Each structure stands twice: as structure tokens, then as C-alpha cells.
Structure 1
Amino acid sequence: MAYRQPSRIFAGLSAAAILQLEYSWRLHDDDTVFIASSTGGNSRCHANIRRIFMRHMPVVRVAHSPCPGGLVISVAPEHALSAATPDPGTEIVRITSPARTLVDCGLRYPFAQAMPMFNSALRKGLVTLDEVMETCDGLQANHGPVLRLLHYANPLCENGGESWCYATILDLGFAVPQLQHVFVDPDAPWKRYRVDFVWHTQDGRIIVLEYDGTGKYVDPKMTGRRGVQSVVHDEREREDALRRAKVTTIIRTTFDEVAQRSPLMHKLLDADVPMTGMHPFYERRTDIRGREY
């Protein structure tokens, strides 16, 4: 579409896809392509094309350059890339700025679905919290959902699955966990184990939650081409080391449990994970590097 109409500016989920932000591909189930428009309202101009109206259109150009194993993505203001001659094989697409893209997606999709986009954009250095806030200030719309995403966004989530699980935990009303905490095995101080989520409770308990994707056991890139038995053995050794490091409870959850929500909620309740409403202390905020302040 960009090749046929170079002047077209992609927006919303389409811009997020071009930026290769993390999110569930189920959001593309209706095959809608989003484009920015300075005239008319938010409407469909074709069965699969939806316009997003914006009076002031912040535009950047995204260059996709082929490299061994994938693509290199470069984002620059429109004038910067338009003046340069692209390398052979490089594709350039015009989209709304990363900040405006996040705002549009944050207003359109549920909290748990939008969180991976925000976290990955921050982790990749495509945007700052202030830039997103500035974009919100320029809109005449209720941007409360975006403010909530900004409040909890944390680039320490390593992938879209973790971000989705993290946001679901918050949606269910549980306390904000600490992310990517490292434990040291007291019997072997040279061994360190990083966990996905951890709560240090006021009564001295340490609760760990691990998000396990099926790829952890079957994807050669994640298993190092080891067999399932070997991976399971390493997991048991890891759990033993965490318990030696004073972890009192270890919870494991899966994609299906997070999607259904109820199984995850019951596991967290059974482990007595603090609820936000009962423990305001746990409402913590982080900066762009994931540090608390």
C-alpha cells in the first residue's frame, strides 16, 4: 500500500506493526489497516481501511533495511530521511510518530493489550514518557487510559508475553511486582537467577511468579537445542536455588492461564499476593529504565 501511494501515512496498529512493537497478532484478526487523515472523522473509507482523524499530523519516516537475520529499523523525522538516498533494498514508509501511535493504540485497545506496545517502545528507545504525555496534552479527548499505561509502563519486561502478563496482574487488582529481580544462590554465589516477577511482602515473604511460554520447552532458540528432560531438570535446580535464597513461594503461569485470567487470579490469591487496594504501599512507579522513584 505504501508503494502504491507513497503519500499515505499509516497510523494506529498499522504504525505499531511497521515499528515492530510487541503486541498480540490477534489484534489483526479483522484485517483493518489504519491511516491518518487530516479531513473527516474517524471512519472507514473502505471495508478494510479506517481513517484516524488528526488535526496536527506528526509524521516520521521508518526505513526497513535488510540485514542478516532480519531487518534494521530506523526512525527519523520526515525531512531527514527524505533528503537522503536510501540503500538498495531499503523500504521507507511514512507513519505517525511513535508517541502518537502509542496514544492512538492506548485509546483503542484494552490496557493489557496495549501495555506490550508501550513497554517495547520504551525498551527500544523509540519514545519517552514525556513525549507521549505531550501528545496527550494536544488532544481534545479523554486520555485517561493512556495515562494509566504511562503510570505502569516498564521497559524491564523482556518481551510481549511478559508485558501482557504484567498488565493482567495489575488489571486483576494485585500489587505492582518488581521485575527482573536477581537472586544469588547462597550455596554457590557465582550462580545468579533472574525471575520475571517478585513481591517482597510486608510480613517478610518473598513470592516469585514465572511466566512460562511453551517455547521455553520446545523452541530450539530458547532451549539451546536441549531436550525437554534437560530443561525441566534445570528448572528444578533453579527452584531449589531460589528457595535457598529465601524465596517462600514460586508460582508458574502459562499463556492460557493469563488469557483466561481466572486460573492466574486463583494462583495469586492462593499464594496471598498483596492486593493494591489493601496495600497502597505497593503502588510504585518507575522511570524509563525501570527504576523505582
Structure 2
Amino acid sequence: MLDKIYVISKRQPLRQQVSRATTSLIPISSRTPSPRDRVEMHGGIPVTGFTQTVFECLREAPFSLGLAIADSALRCTGQRPEQLCAQIAREQKRRHGLRRAAEVISYADGRSENGGESRVRAFLIEQGYLLPELQVELPNPLDPRDVYRVDFLWRLPDGRIVVGEFDGMGKYTDENMLVGSTTAKALVAERQRESRITLLGFPVLRFTYQDLARPYRLHNLLRAAGVPRSQDAARRFHASWDAAQGNHPKRRP
């Protein structure tokens, strides 16, 4: 949640810290705040305010982690991407990195519920895959009063539907997420849920942090499911991203 306060020093490279911010935003402390910093006090420690912290992260983070932060910012505030962009532009006038931050925010979606989901979506964007719908409700075929909400849903050109789920370990090990249950019961419940979704005729792709660390796994899953990929879309993204960073366009396969 973004309302948790973590404090790091501005003197530390933000790039080394940003991975901690995939589901939590990190307000940045400064022993010597600059005049343009919007400083708030937490426990007697000066930290940058919410919007500046988002900006400081987005102007330094790689695209995938930046998208996780931007998604989280939208989810927390209920803003639309253009509203967050406008607020950052007003408060951070003429700051280096505004274009990069705006580029990340243009892809952000507050419906993404955790950093893992955001990073899978960043992979899809970077690689030119067809983007899915997020947090779609599907009927439980055994109980019409019940629905299952899935992380990703692709409607393929041939009419087929493919479901995608990000499978973080927290739902099986975090006591707050287990809510009095056990890991074994959570695993069984998840298997039952998936089996009922497949009764609808929809294959389910499962993504993990291990897959994110080995992109060939993601490519293999998506290819096997028939999710379309456009090299032109990937090239357009990378050209735009390079321009947002002030880099010269690069040749990409």
C-alpha cells in the first residue's frame, strides 16, 4: 500500500532501491532538502510528498518497475493517468525526467493490483504482445451467484479467450492474505478455482516472478497460447521510450 512510509536517503542510487517499491511507494528523505522539494515531516524526518516521490521514482526506474509504481499511484489515488501527469507537471516544472515519467504514466492502469501483474504487463508492452483486459469477472460454472475475477483476459482474433494469472507466493504464505487459512488450503482453493475457470473453456496461463527473471518462459507461454505479437508495436514502444529518455533511436530486431 502506498500509505506505508519507507525512508531512504537521496544520496543512495534510487535505481538500487526501486525494486522495493513495486507494491509500496518509497518517500525519499533528505538531510538537506532543496528549495524545490515538497517536504513533509514523518516522525521528525523530512520526506518528499506523495507526488514528488512518484516523480523521483519514475524518472529513475526501469520501465517495468516504473510501471508498477505508476499503477500503484493510480490505484491509491483513484486518479486517471492524465490527471497524475498534469499534477506532476504542475509541481515539478522544468525538472529533468518529466518526459520519461509521463511516458511511463501513459501506460499505467490502477486496476493492476500488485507489482508482479504490472511487471508482466510491462513485458507485454515492451515485447509488442496483444494487451489483455484487466480484472475481468467470469462466472463460476458451478454456482451462478459467484464470480471469479482474473488478472488478465485476452480476446484473441480467432475468437478464443485466454486467461492469465500472476501467481505470487504471498497468497500462500502471507498470514494477512491467508486470513486464518493455511498454505495447503489456499493451494487447494486455487486449484479448484482454476479447474472451474477451465470448465468455461478458457485456458489459464500462470506467471511468476521466476518467469519474469527468465523472459524466454513468458515468450513460450504466450506463444503456446496463441497470444499475438507485433514486432512493429515493440519497435514503436522502444523508439518512444528511447526518445523519452533523451536517447537516440536504436536499431532493434
1:118 matches 2:97: no
Deviations 1:104-140 (A, max 9, x none): 222211011112221222222187332124456x226
Equivalent pair of 1:198/1:208 in contact (CA under 8 Å): yes
Separation in 2, partners of 1:169, 1:36: 40
Q: 1:61 to 1:132 in 2, by over 3 A?
A: same
Equivalent pair of 2:167/2:207 in contact (CA under 8 Å): yes
Q: By percentage of residues, which structure has more helix?
A: 2
Find 2:175's aligned residue among 220, 231, 246: 220
Is 93-102 or 263-272 further displaced after alignment? Answer: 93-102
1:57 matches 2:13: no
Separation in 2, partners of 1:200, 1:132: 34
Separation in 1, partners of 2:179, 2:71: 26
**Matched residue, 1:238:** 193
Deviations 1:157-179 (A, max 9, x none): 11223222322332232222211
Q: Offset at 1:148?
A: 2.2
RMSD across aligned positions (CA): 3.6
Q: 1:10 to 1:35 in 2, by over 3 A?
A: farther
Separation in 2, partners of 1:271, 1:92: 53
Deviations 1:136-159 (A, max 9, x none): 6x2264644322211111111112
1:23 matches 2:2: no
**Matched residue, 1:192:** 147
Equivalent pair of 2:133/2:154 in contact (CA under 8 Å): yes
Equivalent pair of 1:12/1:101 in contact (CA under 8 Å): no
Equivalent pair of 2:30/2:47 in contact (CA under 8 Å): no
Find 2:46's aligned residue among 94, 100, 106: 94
Separation in 1, partners of 2:213, 2:91: 31
Deviations 1:217-251 (A, max 9, x none): 2333323443444333322321232123342x211
Q: 1:62 to 1:13 in 2, by over 3 A?
A: farther
Separation in 1, partners of 2:32, 2:106: 27
| Aligned-residue identity in percent | 27
Q: Offset at 1:62?
A: 4.8
**Matched residue, 2:242:** none
Separation in 2, partners of 1:60, 1:271: 49
Separation in 2, partners of 1:62, 1:193: 42
Q: 1:168 to 1:202 in 2, by over 3 A?
A: same
Q: Which has the larger radius of gyration?
A: 1
Find 2:165's aligned residue among 210, 215, 225: 210
Equivalent pair of 2:133/2:153 in contact (CA under 8 Å): yes
Separation in 2, partners of 1:241, 1:202: 24
Is 173-182 or 160-169 further displaced after alignment? Answer: 160-169
Find 2:112's aligned residue among 138, 157, 167: 157
Q: 1:216 to 1:96 in 2, by over 3 A?
A: closer
Question: Gaps (5+ residues) in structure 1?
Answer: 1-8, 16-20, 39-55, 64-90, 284-293
Deviations 1:18-44 (A, max 9, x none): xxx83289xx9xxx9766764xxxxxx
**Matched residue, 2:212:** 258
Separation in 1, partners of 2:29, 2:144: 52
Find 1:268's aligned residue among 216, 222, 226: 222
Q: 1:160 to 1:279 in 2, by over 3 A?
A: closer
SS at 1:191 equivalent: strand
Q: 1:199 to 1:110 in 2, by over 3 A?
A: same
Q: 1:279 to 1:106 in 2, by over 3 A?
A: closer
